[in-house]
């Protein structure tokens, strides 16, 4: 073959190869162009969405809960910023060699940490520890371990601790109200979370942040509570429960001119800052959840019904001879034969016979209606969770013996808040004001329960209880006239009433000349030798009321202390 032929043949092969390579390059270029078109135009939205799903997150910004303060602006509940540790198990799995460091910083066992992460590999978000102290959170942050992050949260703190624990309640780990006012006003206190868009690299590090929606902080809540009086009530109640070896105790103080609760305390108490104490037996607010038979502390309201009915006058008398009175098969007795006594003496000596005879002169419907108007058998409207309405059976179901025993506080049950509300109504010239746990700028409209004359007469009668010779002399307050009533009741037992378990009560008003405070104290099962309300509850009333009146700058009565006879004679001499 000639050289020219060989050359032509080689040239042909080269052309074929060039054509083949060019075809391959052209096809590759077309494929690249098609792929580029697909990525940049046809699949752009899908791919952008997938990219965002992998690297962009919408993260909530936790809103702080609104603060709670007393009426003078003292903080009772505040939200403090804390950090919580969370991980992306899929990312942190690539740094298992650093888990022992993380465990030491978190003060947990390495084995527990490894198991927790390994058992949640299908998740992208896992809390490891909530509400860490700032020191430990800083140690974790300095480790800079891939897939380990801190999240800002808020922790509820209660500066007064157990002093206000029952009233305020507490929140859960996510800062949601669970008990007390934290639960009752959860919708008001809870803020609205905000949102931010964050961009993270492949190692999970945040490289860009953009706020999407701002957070809204929770609203502040200003209570009617006066922390100074609350401390005083808590201290005196705790001392009395301990001194009398009582099972429990409660106290409520109300400003009778507005219906505001100035103090509410219980024993045993609990510290809302310590979650190990979160047991129902400790954190329930006994002043509103527990009911008891009020004993003789109910007698003023029987006499109120009697005066309002017109059947009795303030100077009427009752013959209690021979010191006993039979209703059906039950014999009702006094300790002594008091003879023919005034209505005031019925309260002074706490005569069961006298109040029973008064009650039996009244229509059952009228007596029930008076009790109802004073708030017995109904919720107070405080708004506190789990509040009890007490027990007051409808008059249609009353038998004579029911009406008799109810006149001295058996066969019906009340809460301490109900009883305090009723005494506050007497103190407010017979006008009932709704209970308020929030600070009020002015007194609300009230409902007339008894006439001012009846209320005034009853207050003067109850002054004799605290005067010399009465059952509540230990409730006296230096510089102020006090009106009140003692109550001691047996506790119900299987088949009847216990003869060695008591509820001791003292309910009182001060100053009697122009009442400002209504305070009721209850001790459950005092067992240190004394059990009468005038012995164990009245001193608590005296100490708390004395301090509270001075804290509120209430002027003394400047009236000499009178004996019961002088008070009764003054009532008779009044036209």
What is the rounded distance in angstroms from the CA atom of residue 234 to the CA atom of residue 227? 10
CA dihedral 510, 539, 334, 336 (to 10 degrees): -100
What is the rounded distance in angstroms from the CA atom of residue 427 to the CA atom of residue 518? 7
The closest of 425, 413, 423, 420 to 521, measured between CA atoms, is 420
Angle between helix 99-106 and helix 110-118 axes, rounded to 10 deg = 120
- Within a 13 Å sphere around the CA of 444, how many CA atoms are in the beta-carbon half? 13
What is the rounded distance in angstroms from the CA atom of residue 228 to the CA atom of residue 528? 29
Q: Considering 84, 250, 269, 296, which one is annotated as catalytic?
A: 296
- Are 177 and 183 contacting, i.e. CB atoms less than 8 angstroms apart? yes
- Are 437 and 181 contacting, i.e. CB atoms less than 8 angstroms apart? yes
- Are 317 and 341 contacting, i.e. CB atoms less than 8 angstroms apart? yes
Angle between helix 416-427 and helix 452-466 axes, rounded to 10 deg = 110
Q: Is 19 a catalytic residue?
A: no
Tell me the two tokens of residue 486.
Answer: 């003692």
SS3 199: strand
What is the rounded distance in angstroms from the CA atom of residue 154 to the CA atom of residue 149? 16
Q: Which residues are catalytic?
A: 296
């Amino acid at each position: 073959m000639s050289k020219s032929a060989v050359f032509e043949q080689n040239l042909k092969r080269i052309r074929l190869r060039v054509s083949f390579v060019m075809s391959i390059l052209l096809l590759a270029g077309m494929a690249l162009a098609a792929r580029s078109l697909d990525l940049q135009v046809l699949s752009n939205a899908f791919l952008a969405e997938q990219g965002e799903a992998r690297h962009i997150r919408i993260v909530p910004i936790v809103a702080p809960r609104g603060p709670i303060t007393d009426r003078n602006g003292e903080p009772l509940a505040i939200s403090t910023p804390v950090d919580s540790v969370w991980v992306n198990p899929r990312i942190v799995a690539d740094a298992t060699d650093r888990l022992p460091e993380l465990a030491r910083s978190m003060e947990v066992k390495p084995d527990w940490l490894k198991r927790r992460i390994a058992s949640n590999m299908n998740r992208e978000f896992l809390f490891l520890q909530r509400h860490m102290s700032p020191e430990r959170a800083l140690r974790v942050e300095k480790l800079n371990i891939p897939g380990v992050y801190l999240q800002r949260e808020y922790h509820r703190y209660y500066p007064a601790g157990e002093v206000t624990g029952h009233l305020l309640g507490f929140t859960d780990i996510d800062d949601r109200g669970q008990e007390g006012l934290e639960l009752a006003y959860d919708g008001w206190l809870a803020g609205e979370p905000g949102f931010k868009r964050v961009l993270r690299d492949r190692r999970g590090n945040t490289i860009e942040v953009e706020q999407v929606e701002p957070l809204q902080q929770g609203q502040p809540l200003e209570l009617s509570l006066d922390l100074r009086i609350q401390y005083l009530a808590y201290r005196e109640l705790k001392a009395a429960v301990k001194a009398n070896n009582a099972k429990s105790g409660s106290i409520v103080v109300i400003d009778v001119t507005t219906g505001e609760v100035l103090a509410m305390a219980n024993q045993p108490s609990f510290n809302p800052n310590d979650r190990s104490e979160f047991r129902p037996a400790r954190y329930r607010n006994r002043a509103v959840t527990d009911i008891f038979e009020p004993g003789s502390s109910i007698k003023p309201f029987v006499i109120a019904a009697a005066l309002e009915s017109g059947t009795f006058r303030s100077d009427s008398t009752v013959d209690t001879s021979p010191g006993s009175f039979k209703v059906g098969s039950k014999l009702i007795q006094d300790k002594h034969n008091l003879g023919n006594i005034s209505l005031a003496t019925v309260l002074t000596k706490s005569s069961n016979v006298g109040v029973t005879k008064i009650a039996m002169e009244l229509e059952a419907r009228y007596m029930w209606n008076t009790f109802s108007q004073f708030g017995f058998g109904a919720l107070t409207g405080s708004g506190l969770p789990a509040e009890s309405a007490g027990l007051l059976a409808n008059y249609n179901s009353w038998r004579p013996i029911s009406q008799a025993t109810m006149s001295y506080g058996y066969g019906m049950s009340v809460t301490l808040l109900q009883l305090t509300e009723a005494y506050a109504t007497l103190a407010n010239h017979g006008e009932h004001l709704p209970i308020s746990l929030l600070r009020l700028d002015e007194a609300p409209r009230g409902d007339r329960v008894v006439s001012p004359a009846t209320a005034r007469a009853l207050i003067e009668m109850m002054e004799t209880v605290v005067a010399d010779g009465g059952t509540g002399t230990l409730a006296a307050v230096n510089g102020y006239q006090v009106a009140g009533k003692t109550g001691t009741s047996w506790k119900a037992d299987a088949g009847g009433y216990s003869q060695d378990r008591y509820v001791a009560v003292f309910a009182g008003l001060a100053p009697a000349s122009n009442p400002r405070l209504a305070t009721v104290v209850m001790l459950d099962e005092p067992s240190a030798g004394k059990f009468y309300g005038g012995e164990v509850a009245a001193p608590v009333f005296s100490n708390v009321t004395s301090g509270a009146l001075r804290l509120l700058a209430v002027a003394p009565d400047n009236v000499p202390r009178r004996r019961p006879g002088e008070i009764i004679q003054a009532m008779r001499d009044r036209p």
